[in-house]
Amino acid sequence: MLIGAILLIAALLTPWYMEQSSEYGYTVGINAYPGTPSQNGTIKYTCSGLPSGASCPSQTSYSAQDLNSTGMIAEYGFFIVIVGVILGIIAAILGLFSGGNPKRTRPAVALAVIALILAIAAPAMFAAALPGAIGNDSKGHPSGAGPWSSFWGSGNISGASLTWGAGIGWYLSIGAFVLFLVGVIALMRAGKSPPEAAPTTAAIAMDGSAAAPSSPQPPTPPSS
């Protein structure tokens, strides 16, 4: 569980969505991070092959780019991951000090299951809702395939070669989900009560719960 929580923290520090546009020999990449809409640095750019005198755009925020719908998805994902990290850490601590006691393990399992659900909810929401949000923020976009129609894809749009899809942070969150799943299974196994041992002969004799077998009686002689 603890490793899964650390992986989720790493996911927050890396982009969850990327677009790359190539045109006239230069390439511009857009990296979108989870965070609040007004947080500077939630959108960063990478550039290569720019013509002389051109500069790469500086980092910015969703609000500054008027990407309100996209920023809302990024904000929801950010807080879902934060809660998942907190619950994952608490579950790991409770599980560590449970000592295999079923009563102490149950709260850890419950929190771990919630963290597990949150760990998969954030990337699932990004994949399902982000294209629609991009469409809302890109009024008048060209018809056909594009970032507004699918979470992954590529194509020629307005003369530029464009590719888009999940960033490293999105994949890290999937990895955290797998680790949380392993942690939940481990906690559930640790919390199972050991099977009760069958009473031994010595224990039966000590508590007197079973009478000693009676000795056989001699047969009665027939009457004359």
Predicted confidence at residue 95, as pLDDT, reads 87
Indicate if the pLDDT at residue 119 is higher than 80: yes
Q: Quick one: pLDDT at residue 22?
A: 93
The yes-or-no verdict on residue 219 having pLDDT over 70 is no
Whole-number pLDDT of residue 98: 81
What distances in angstroms separate CA 75 from CA 68, 102, 140, 179, 204, one per listed residue? 10, 37, 25, 24, 65
211 pLDDT band (50/70/90 cuts)? very low
pLDDT digits (tens, 9 = 90+) for 4-60: 999 999 999 999 999 999 988 889 999 999 999 999 999 999 999 988 888 998 899
Please give the Cα distance from 125 to 89 (Å, whole number).
23
Domains of the chain: 2-194 (1.20.140)
15's CB contacts (< 8 A; 6+ apart) are 31, 32, 33, 44, 167, 168, 169
pLDDT (tens digit, 9 = 90+) per residue, 53-87? Answer: 889 988 999 999 999 999 999 999 999 999 999 99
Task: Give dist(CA 10, CA 124) in Å, integer.
Answer: 18
pLDDT in tens, 94-110: 988 887 788 888 999 99
User: Do the Cβ atoms of 15 and 167 come closer than 8 Å?
Assistant: yes
Give the separation between CA 130 and CA 148, rounded to whole angstroms.
8
Going by the DSSP 8-state scheme, the letter that residue 196 receives in this structure is P
For residue 194, the model assigns a pLDDT of 55
166-195 tens-digit pLDDT: 999 999 999 999 999 999 999 888 877 555
Q: 119 near 173, Cβ under 8 Å?
A: yes
Q: Which residue has the tokens 């609040």?
A: 36
Tell me which residue of 12, 22, 35 sits closest to 168, measured CA to CA: 12
Report the range of poorest mean pLDDT among 24-28, 131-135, 215-219. Answer: 215-219
